C-alpha cells in the first residue's frame, strides 16, 4: 500500500541496524557460494517465527553482492541470537568457516549500528511502509517533522548542535 504523502518513522526506544551480506567472488564455484546464499532465508524464517528473539524486520537486495538490511530491538538481542547453538546462525557460521574459510571464493560482511534517540531521521514519499518505517511507527512529515534538519532537531539530541546537522 503506497502512502501518497510524506511520512517519517518514529521509534520509541533505541534500536540496532544490522547490514549483512555476501559477495560471490567466483561465480563458477556454485558449491561454495550456494550454501552460504541458502543459509540466510532459513535464518529469516526462524527469526520471523520467533519475534521474541528481537528481530523487527528488514529488506533484501540480491546481485553479485547481496545485502540484507535488518532492524533489531537491540545489539544484545542480535548477539544473543548469533551465539545460540540451537538456532540457525551458529551452525551456518561454522559451515562457512569450514567449507569456505580463507579461500576467497565467497565473501561475507556485516556492519552493526546502535541507534539512540536523536541519531536518525527518515523520509518516505509516495512509498509503502519501508525500512525503519516498516518496523517503527509512521507519522506524517509535517510541522516540526517537515525537513531533515527539523526532524533531527525534534529528537532533542544533546550531543549535536543544530548548526552541525545536515538539511
- pTM confidence score: 0.87
Q: What is the pLDDT of residue 159?
A: 41
Q: What is the pLDDT of residue 152?
A: 86
Verify that 104 and 129 share a domain, yes or no: no
Task: Determine the 3-state secondary structure of 83 from DSSP.
Answer: helix
Q: What is the pLDDT of residue 155?
A: 63
CATH code for the domain of 101: 3.30.70.100
Verify that 128 and 51 share a domain, yes or no: no
Q: What is the pLDDT of residue 153?
A: 78
Verify that 54 and 23 share a domain, yes or no: yes
Q: What is the pLDDT of residue 123?
A: 97
Residue numbers in the chain where pLDDT is lower than 50 = 157-167
Element (H, E) at 115: strand 106-115
Q: What is the pLDDT of residue 165?
A: 37
Q: Which three cell numbers stand for residue 161?
A: 548542535
Find the domain containing 64 and state its range. 15-69+76-115
Write out pLDDT tens, residues 70-104. Answer: 999 999 999 999 999 999 999 999 999 999 999 99
Domain count along the chain? 2
Amino acid at each position: 500500500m503506497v502512502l501518497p504523502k510524506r511520512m517519517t518513522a518514529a521509534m520509541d526506544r533505541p534500536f540496532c541496524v544490522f547490514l549483512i551480506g555476501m559477495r560471490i567472488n567466483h561465480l563458477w564455484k556454485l558449491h561454495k557460494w550456494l550454501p552460504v546464499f541458502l543459509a540466510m532465508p532459513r535464518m529469516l524464517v526462524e527469526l520471523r517465527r520467533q519475534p521474541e528473539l528481537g528481530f523487527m524486520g528488514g529488506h533484501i537486495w540480491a546481485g553479485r553482492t547481496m545485502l540484507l538490511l535488518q532492524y533489531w530491538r537491540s545489539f544484545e538481542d542480535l548477539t544473543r541470537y548469533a551465539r545460540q547453538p540451537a538456532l540457525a546462525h551458529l551452525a551456518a557460521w561454522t559451515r562457512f568457516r569450514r567449507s569456505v574459510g580463507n579461500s576467497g571464493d565467497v565473501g561475507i560482511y556485516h556492519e552493526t549500528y546502535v541507534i539512540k534517540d536523536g541519531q536518525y531521521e527518515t523520509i518516505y514519499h509516495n512509498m509503502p511502509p519501508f525500512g525503519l518505517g516498516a518496523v517503527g511507527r509512521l507519522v506524517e512529515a509535517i510541522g516540526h517533522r517537515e525537513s531533515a534538519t527539523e526532524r533531527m532537531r525534534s529528537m532533542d539530541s544533546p550531543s549535536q548542535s543544530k548548526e552541525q546537522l545536515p538539511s
